[in-house]
A = this chain, B = another copy of it.
């Protein structure tokens, strides 16, 4: 069995986030760079609004560190829309070599990991990763248009309207300006435990998170206590509980260290999102807006961040197929 953990030597030089109105009204609202009052971002379709969020996020991430797009060697991007048009149109105005990704809600870390790997491997000096989701665009594509007013079950999650962009370079290039170092990464194996309920993504994705996390602890020889936080992308309340239970069954108690972006981004008491947030934009905005600054300030020293994705389509669910999940993990270290 190969050791699949990638030893990386890369820095997150910059991050920027754009969110919608509900995310701005949530507990982390003040931490995001931009927000839109009506989630339209000046566009006439939800899909174009999502694209515009990606464009804004990348512009802001590059602008913060004064890097012109000409200096970006490559861009990894993706989203949840059919054929990933959020990214292909959103980033069209940038003349940067483009790698399109599809990892469902795991795309944020898939992109960050690949960008960090290309920098570590000496194949890029500066690489960027961008991802997004938009509640209204996702609802009408995956479930029903919002206007239908369809009821959501308690295990259902609320697709986050948001985009996050990350600029990755080498620690030498970063010269101490980085938000955090990417020291290790572990790409996920696709896992299918037979869940067929498309309104319970947390249950479909939790086993993938267990797979990646147990592989990581086993290969690295580390333990949950070695990390200030073990964060998942968007398992929500339901999936987080399943993750902690399954990890306990593996003999690893992560409950005191674990949190989930889907739980953090919305208020459970005052915002009606049932099992919490989801979507590519959930992990990307919470990491970019909330966690990376804490790594920068030293409040967090070392965290594991794992974005999870459900790799089905509406058609595959209708055809009776179960829902495979995948979880990509990175170890991020702050200035400590």
The residues of A with any CB-CB pair to B shorter than 8 Å are 1-2, 4, 6, 45, 47-48, 70-74, 78, 80-85, 88-89, 91-92, 95-104, 110, 114, 117-118, 120-123, 125-126, 141, 186-190, 192, 309, 311-316, 319, 321, 324, 326
Of the listed residues A71, A88, A314, A326, the one surrounded by the most CB atoms of chain B closer than 10 A to its CB is A88
Roughly how many angstroms separate A2 CA and B81 CA in the complex, as a whole number?
31
Assess the B98–A83 pair: CB atoms within 8 A: no
Which residue of the partner chain B has the closest CB to A107?
B100
Assess the B89–A99 pair: CB atoms within 8 A: no
A85-B316 contact in complex given A99-B103, A102-B100, A120-B123, C-beta closer than 8 Å: yes
Assess the A101–B101 pair: CB atoms within 8 A: yes
CB distance from A74 to the nearest CB of B (A): 6
A110 touches which one: B72, B95, B100 (CB < 8 A)?
Answer: B100
Which residue of the partner chain B has the closest CB to A190?
B98
Assess the B70–A2 pair: CB atoms within 8 A: yes
Residues of B within 8 A of A110 (CB): 99-100
Q: What is the count of identical protomers in the complex?
A: 2
The 4 closest A-B pairs by CB, nearest first: A121-B121, A88-B311, A97-B187, A83-B313
A92-B190 contact in complex given A78-B102, A101-B102, C-beta closer than 8 Å: yes
Which residue of the partner chain B has the closest CB to A68?
B1
A81 touches which one: B71, B186, B189, B313 (CB < 8 A)?
Answer: B313
Roughly how many angstroms separate A22 CA and B187 CA in the complex, as a whole number?
37
Roughly how many angstroms separate A72 CA and B189 CA in the complex, as a whole number?
12
CB distance from A278 to the nearest CB of B (A): 14
Assess the A85–B123 pair: CB atoms within 8 A: no
CB distance from A198 to the nearest CB of B (A): 12
Residues of B within 8 A of A319 (CB): 45, 47-48
Can you list 20 pairs linking A and B with CB atoms under 8 Å apart? A4-B97, A6-B123, A82-B313, A83-B313, A84-B102, A84-B311, A85-B313, A85-B315, A85-B316, A88-B324, A89-B311, A89-B321, A97-B189, A98-B326, A99-B101, A100-B102, A101-B102, A117-B123, A121-B121, A121-B122
A83-B311 contact in complex given A101-B100, A102-B78, A324-B89, C-beta closer than 8 Å: yes
